[in-house]
Structure 1
């Protein structure tokens, strides 16, 4: 009807469309001025650049109209909303249950805090940028550990087109439904060891203090193979920036007696949410 909430939603969509349209226009003009995008030069190519520089015949007949590009960008922006929010909720709960991990994270944040007068502040709150959070090894390990124990998408379903034989020697027939529990995989002793039920960010950190590589078919929170999540790195960046900023400025304490259990849903939300007390923190 174009009134009330509907009117606000229409106006909000218009604002978003204008913003994305401007991004598409600016990127197209940038590519027209640039001569760097030659065949074989795909270094640091973002998703929008990839679409704009791809020949239409390589896109199975899809045209590169502004509407197509806009819809693609909107899908990319919103695809990780529920999964990221689920992961962050479980992360703050796990952190509250593991004070030693929180202490180590705070120490890591202190180490990268900019010098005086160089800290970005919003209403006196410290805000981290992408380059800063990229250096947070312990935080990366803690997020991976959270995703292992509480994957936002707890189940994955596959169906073979043709008959096949699994490594376990089981035969699967065409269109058979294979249900994979990522939640269970993250808690299996034969995969993660005897401490599989513990929240242990150190399992993701090598002896030289770097991120330890884990095969994607072992850590499948972002899927694996050709179907691996396109937004994996974006999701990690978003979560790191949110966690670093919040932990640096606030302390979160779950309410005593609040019952925390997973919700029976496609996305692994908390059944009753996470109720916390928030206190100001200065590190």
Structure 2
């Protein structure tokens, strides 16, 4: 969620588009209300309408996966798709962080934050193969909590963006990641938060 807020601060037009979709999906007007009232309008039906929000969260995960490097242990001798042989007990690692930026996987705009890449011509979210978008792994090891994670992210972000606007404290600063098991922003994220109820 920190990377999500960071990317929205770097792309205020996208932040605004997400907020407009959220307010439309929850049938909320722009007159004054509080966070609790707004949260009560975030229903399952409303969440299903938030296709652009889903795409924006997914685009954030493409560029900033929670687990940037993942390793697996081989249980038996095998041959990888490229013909490389591995032996039982070998460690094989892949890098979702690097894969999310590879042009031969995502195209020439791989480094751009572009939620629209996840939407069809009607504005509906279209998932990619989990072997391409590896933030939740794939195959037999696909994350069992993927849908729950998306639901949590959508609830939390819809309330935040439905009620608040975010700006970086220092708009010239570029966030750097901290090398850990999970992908953290080094030094945290300093932001200004503004009330949307005005």
Q: TM-score, normalising length from structure 2?
A: 0.90
1:107-156: CA deviation from partner (whole Å, max 9, x where unpaired): 2123223367xxx9545x52123331121000000000000000001111
- The alignment status of 1:180 with 2:87, answered yes or no, reads no
**Could you say what secondary structure the match of 1:126 adopts?**
helix
TM-score by length of 1: 0.64
Partner of 1:162: 76
Over residues 189-225 of structure 1, what are the superposed CA-to-partner deviations in whole Å (9 max), with x where a residue is unaligned?
0000000000000000011221113111111111111
| Structural mapping, 1:141-220, within 5 Å | 141-220=55-134
Q: For 1:58-97, what aligned pairs fall within 5 Å after superposition?
A: 88-97=1-10
Match of residue 50 from structure 1: none
Q: Compare the two structures and name the one with the higher helix fraction.
A: 1
Residues 221-279 of structure 1, C-alpha deviations (whole Å, 9 max, x = no match): 11111221111111111111111111111111111165521011000011111111111
In the TM superposition, residue 177 of structure 1 has moved relative to its aligned partner by: 1.0
Q: Give the 4+ runs in structure 1 shifted more than 6 A.
A: none
Aligned to 1:262: 177
Q: What residue is the counterpart of 1:126 in the other structure?
A: 38
RMSD value, Cα: 1.8
Cα 1:259–1:145 change in 2 (3 A) is closer
Q: Distance in 2 between matches of 1:110 and 1:266?
A: 35
Q: Check whether the contact 2:34–2:197 (CA below 8 A) recurs between aligned residues.
A: no
User: Is the 1:134–1:237 Cα contact (8 Å) retained in structure 2?
Assistant: no
Q: How far off its partner does 1:281 sit?
A: 1.0
Paired residues in the alignment total 192
Q: Which has the larger radius of gyration?
A: 1
Q: 1:279 to 1:243 in 2, by over 3 A?
A: same
State which of 77, 98, 103 in structure 1 corresponds to 2:16: 103
CA distance in 2, matches of 1:90, 1:143: 10
Q: Distance in 2 between matches of 1:168 and 1:104?
A: 41
